[in-house]
Amino acid sequence: MLSRRGLLAMAGAAPLVWSLSEGGSASAAVAPPADLGVQLWMVRQSMAQDFPGTLKALADLGVRKVELAGAPDLSGAELRAAFDAAGLACVSGHLPILQMTDAELDHRLAYAREIGMTTVAAPMPGFAGLLEVAPADRFAALLAHPLTADDWRWNADRLNQIGDKARSAGVAIAYHNHNVEFADVGGQTAMDLLLERVDPAQAHFQFDVGNAVLGGADPFDLLARHPGRFRSAHLKDWRAPLQPTTRLASPASAAFGQGVIDWARWRRASAEAGIAISFIERENMPVGEEVAAAGQALQYFTTLQGNRA
């Protein structure tokens, strides 16, 4: 497998445009697909070292839209200023909204709007008793709590409850899947339970393709069976061979085009399904390779788009 080192220049490089001609000539250059953004979680180590520099490096790659996760603990106004300075729009964010009380949720929705988000995605589920735990201890409590079918029903109902509150704040609510949602909970997967019980008028879904495959699901079948329910996506891939599991897992990630997912097929299917924006998210990258991995992904999907034209 080719190393990602040296694929792209880091911060300070000129905005990237890639040639689609066999010899690498600049005569047939195209810009990265407009519907691709970057999930900031994949560059969290770089942001910890140099937040504005990392944002600039992404912008220099041609990135224009990002999704918040893993950024420094700054105010909404400070984050908005940093994104504006880099020429980036933070259009979406992962906030643990299913682990928040109503009062906590009001505060975080205001924070999301201050940054400029139009969507807030729940990156993980919760359960009823979790809201009685101190905020700093909630993640550990979630990991220690095996989720039942009733817990997943609670999550669906909670998404329905907060939909109006979020809409009043000017943002849409989404649910982001990992692999645990594809575990069986009484004859159906937790994901199917959520899709059946969540009111489409209150919340939509963000399709993490890599996580679905890790959970043993067929992403194309899931997309076809639930038209209109997925409005955004996360793109990540895994090295072969992949052992599917619904338990917490962190397998080795693959560079795009070198993993287990047919991305040409996915891009066609997601466009037909109306997914408006997709965020690149490589997992488990060394800090020195995070930004370069975003560049490799943009290059791959740009070439894929050009070959389809």
Residues above pLDDT 90, as percent of the chain: 87
Whether 14 is covered by a domain: the verdict is no
Give residue 212's pLDDT.
Answer: 98
What span, in angstroms and rounded, lies between the C-alpha atoms of 175 and 92? Answer: 12
Contact residues for 181 (Cβ-Cβ < 8 A; gap 6+)? 125, 189, 190, 191, 194, 215
Q: pLDDT at position 305, please?
A: 87
Query: For 35-64, what is each residue's pLDDT tens digit?
Result: 999 999 999 999 999 999 999 999 999 999
Q: CATH code at 112?
A: 3.20.20.150
Instruction: Quote the mean pLDDT of the chain.
Output: 90
Whether 260 is covered by a domain: the verdict is yes
Does residue 260 carry a pLDDT above 70? Answer: yes
The number of distinct structural domains making up the chain is 1
- The pLDDT of residue 22 is above 50: no
Residue type, 278: S
Assess if residue 8 is contained within a domain.
Answer: no
Q: Does residue 228 form part of some domain?
A: yes
Give the global pTM. Answer: 0.90
Task: Kindly indicate the confidence band of residue 178, based on its pLDDT and cuts at 50, 70 and 90.
Answer: very high
pLDDT of 183 > 90? The answer is yes
- Whether residue 207 contacts residue 275, with contact meaning beta carbons closer than 8 Å, is answered with yes
Domain assignment present for 208: yes
Which residue bears the tokens 């005569």?
27
pLDDT score, position 31: 78
Give me the mean pLDDT over the 196-213 stretch: 98
Q: Is the pLDDT of residue 28 over 50?
A: no
Cβ-contact 203, 159 below 8 angstroms: yes
Its domain, for residue 277, covers: 29-308
Distance CA 193, CA 228 (A): 16
Percent of the chain's residues with pLDDT above 70: 89
Whether 18 maps to a domain, the answer reads: no
Is 12 part of a structural domain of the chain?
Answer: no
- Is 20 a member of any domain? no
